[in-house]
Every structure is written in C-alpha cells, then in structure tokens.
C-alpha cells in the first residue's frame, strides 16, 4: 500500500483543485463543507507559504503519476502549557475517495511529523457518523479515544466527534 500515494509540497498547479475542496459543497462532501469562505484565500496562504512551525499543508499525490488527489494539514494544539501536539486533517477530491489514499496519507503524515518535529502526540477527529474516516484513521494506526459531545458545528447543528491519537512510540522510524 505504500506505493499508493506520497506527500509533497503543494504547487501552484494544485491550487484550483485544492480550493474546490473547500469552496464547492459537492467536492467537499458531506463532512467537509462548513460554508463558503473567502474565495482566493487558499492561494493567498500559498503565496505566504504553507509550512511553518505552527502547522502546514502538503499535497496528497498519486504515486504513479504525481497528480493531486487531496491534501493533508496540521496545526499545533496544547494539551498542557508545555505539551504541544499536532491536530491533523485530510481532504480528498470526491473522485479519489474510497481508494485507500486517506489511510496511507494520514500514516505518512504521522511518520513525517514524528521524523521532523519533537511532538509526542498527533490527534485527529471526525464526526461520529463518518465511518469511512474512522476506519481510515484506525488503519493508519490511530487509537480511538472517545466521543466529544457537541464539538463540531456544521449545517446548522452541533455534532458529536470521535477523537483519535497516535503516539511517537507507536510509529517506528527508520534511521
């Protein structure tokens, strides 16, 4: 499965597809559309740079031809005054869902973040009804921690979320 996708920096030719993941309700899908945003804001962020000490975005690219199939992102959260961790997310183009890209991309992102940052914990969450994402996270090695009641507001309602995490000790790194 490691040959399905790879992570790479987002390039300018990816931006139109990446923007559709957030601006087009059908492309975003049932769980990723949170209302219209400022058109062009993703392109403005790209011009400033997507990678920083506080978080970032990488393209999920099909390994066979390098085409953009989605993106992963992460941002820092604190679980205590001196206990930073990463919270990650993924968005895949509608035609690319269900092919195993999500579980592999999330595992690659965990490996990347543990290899290049000092955090001990990476967490992710999804709505309790998003069974496909729960399976992807579990297949990527994340552990289900529990349900966060009323934690996400989408489409006029508060929704329960499932919390997942993976620890540095659970991801063997080469060299």
pLDDT tens by residue, 126-141 = 999 999 999 999 999 9
Average pLDDT, integer, range 44-63: 90
Rg (CA), the chain: 16
What is the pTM assigned to this prediction? 0.89
The side-by-side arrangement of strands in the sheet containing 157-167 is 5-8, 55-62, 68-78, 84-92, 121-127, 157-167, 143-154
Identify the residue with better confidence: 78 or 29.
Answer: 78
Per-residue pLDDT for 5 more than 80?
A: yes
Going along the chain from its start, the domains and CATH numbers come out as 5-170 (3.40.630.30)
Residue 18 DSSP label? H
pLDDT per residue as tens digits for the range 110-129: 999 999 999 999 999 999 99
């Amino acid at each position: 499965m490691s040959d399905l996708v790879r992570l790479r920096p987002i390039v300018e030719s990816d931006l139109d597809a990446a923007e559709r993941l957030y601006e087009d309700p059908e492309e975003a899908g049932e769980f990723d559309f949170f209302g219209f945003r400022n058109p062009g804001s993703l392109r403005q962020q790209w011009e400033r740079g997507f990678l920083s000490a506080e978080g970032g975005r990488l393209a999920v690219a099909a390994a066979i031809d390098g085409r953009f199939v989605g993106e992963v992102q992460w941002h820092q959260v604190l679980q205590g005054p001196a206990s930073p961790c990463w919270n990650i997310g993924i968005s895949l183009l509608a035609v690319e869902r269900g092919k195993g890209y999500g579980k592999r991309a999330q595992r690659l992102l965990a490996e990347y973040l543990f290899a290049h940052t000092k955090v001990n914990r990476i967490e992710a969450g999804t709505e309790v009804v998003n069974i496909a994402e729960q399976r992807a996270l579990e297949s990527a090695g994340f552990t289900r921690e529990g349900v966060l009641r009323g934690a996400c507001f989408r489409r006029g309602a508060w929704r329960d979320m499932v919390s997942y995490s993976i620890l540095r000790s659970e991801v063997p790194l080469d060299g």
